[in-house]
């Protein structure tokens, strides 16, 4: 069973409250309470982010996208390629820390970002890694759909309503990794991704995982990726050969930081 770490704010106290005026004490209590409330709001109330229990969801093979080969336990060449990629990532992460938060992107839509991310998550989990998938493709969220999950609460509700992460996180059985889905298209994506609350939530979740995989909108269609780059250590680019011209590909890669570029996954190649 995985361990969940906790983030706590411990009250500081000198333990000496003798000889104090009650009126001042009452005022102090109010003031301290107001200040602590403001501080909690500013940092998205890390206390609220304690992960108590993650709901376990049994995946139904009938509802999973057929191209999620590593979740469907098929014995294909693709599965062995994902296993190799997982090992490469684990090795690279050991040699070049920190390499935990991985952004998965592509130049255009429908190149297979979400499938690659979920296949990779499953391969990493099979290698004993604690993995979280976060659906930060807020314009076309599809993690729930591809996994056949019913999602009532997701990332945006957690941020906007200040919900506990454990209300939205799901542990996938038997795949062995966790997902933080997005329920529906988000209108003001930049507002959410640039918010201190989003940053605080990612920090709070960080300690629970070896890898956090972020789905994203395509590089050439949304500036959201620029915000996600700020929250991630490295980027994996998914390419569907023949779909994107070399010049568009070069343009997309130019948006990324060369030093933190992990590599390219060629998806949908035929042998
Ligand atoms: N290797 C593959 N072979 C065949 N079909 C695939 C492969 N990978 C993904 N697909 C199919 O292509 C479609 C798009 O895949 P996916 O949703 O992963 O792409 P995406 O880049 O995340 O798309 P979007 O831009 O809509 O988010 C899906 O229907 C999926 O089943
Ligand atoms: Mg997608």
Residue 150 · residue 55 · CB < 8 Å: no
CA of 88 to the centre of ligand 2 (A): 23
pTM (predicted TM-score): 0.83
CA 201 from centroid of its chain's CA atoms: 10
Q: Range with the lowest mean pLDDT among 58-67, 164-173, 210-219, 229-238?
A: 164-173
What pLDDT shows up at residue 28? 52
**Strand pairing report for 101-106 and 211-215:** parallel
Backbone angles phi, psi at 192, to 5 degrees: -70, -50
* CA–CA gap between residue 228 and residue 110 (Å, rounded): 19
Q: Indicate which atom in ligand 1 lies nearest the CA of residue 267.
A: 1
Which of 110, 219, 242 to probe ligand 1 with, by most ligand atoms within 8 A of CB?
Answer: 110
Query: Which tokens in the block code for residue 271?
Result: 């042998």
What pLDDT shows up at residue 187? 92
Q: How confident is the model at residue 143 (pLDDT cuts 50, 70, 90)?
A: very high
Residues 6+ apart with CB under 8 A from 217: 105, 137, 138, 139, 140, 189, 224, 225
Give nearest CA residue, ligand 1 atom 19.
112
For residue range 39-96, list pLDDT tens digits in order.
Answer: 444 444 443 455 668 899 999 999 999 999 999 977 889 999 999 999 999 999 999 9
Query: Which tokens in the block code for residue 53?
Result: 């229990």
Block residue for tokens 């988000």 = 186
Q: Indicate which atom in ligand 1 lies nearest the CA of residue 65.
A: 31
What burial letters (b/e) apply to 233-258, b meaning 16+ CB within 10 Å? bbbbbbbbeebbeeeebeebbeebee
What pLDDT shows up at residue 115? 98
């Amino acid at each position: 069973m995985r361990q969940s770490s906790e983030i706590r704010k411990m009250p500081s106290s000198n333990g000496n409250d003798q000889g104090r005026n009650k009126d001042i004490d009452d005022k102090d209590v109010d003031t301290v309470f107001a200040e602590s409330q403001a501080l909690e709001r500013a940092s998205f109330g890390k206390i609220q982010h304690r992960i108590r229990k993650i709901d376990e969801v049994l995946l139904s093979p009938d509802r999973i996208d057929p191209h999620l080969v590593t979740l469907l336990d098929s014995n294909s060449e693709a599965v062995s390629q994902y296993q190799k990629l997982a090992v490469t990532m684990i090795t690279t992460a050991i040699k070049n820390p920190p390499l935990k938060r991985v952004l998965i992107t592509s130049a255009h839509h429908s190149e297979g970002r979400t499938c690659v991310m979920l296949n990779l998550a499953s391969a990493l989990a099979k290698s004993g890694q604690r993995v979280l998938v976060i659906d930060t493709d807020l314009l076309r969220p599809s993690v729930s759909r591809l996994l056949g999950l019913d999602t009532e609460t997701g990332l945006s509700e957690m941020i906007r309503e200040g919900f506990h992460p454990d209300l939205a996180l799901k542990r996938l059985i038997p795949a062995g990794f966790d997902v933080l889905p997005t329920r529906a298209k988000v209108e003001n994506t930049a507002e959410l991704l640039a918010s201190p609350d989003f940053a605080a939530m990612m920090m709070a979740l960080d300690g629970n995982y070896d890898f956090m995989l972020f789905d994203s909108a395509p590089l050439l269609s949304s500036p959201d990726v620029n915000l996600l780059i700020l929250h991630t250590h490295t980027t994996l680019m998914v390419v569907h050969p023949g779909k994107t011209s070399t010049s568009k590909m070069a343009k997309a890669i130019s948006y990324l930081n060369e030093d933190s570029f992990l590599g390219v996954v060629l998806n949908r190649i035929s042998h």
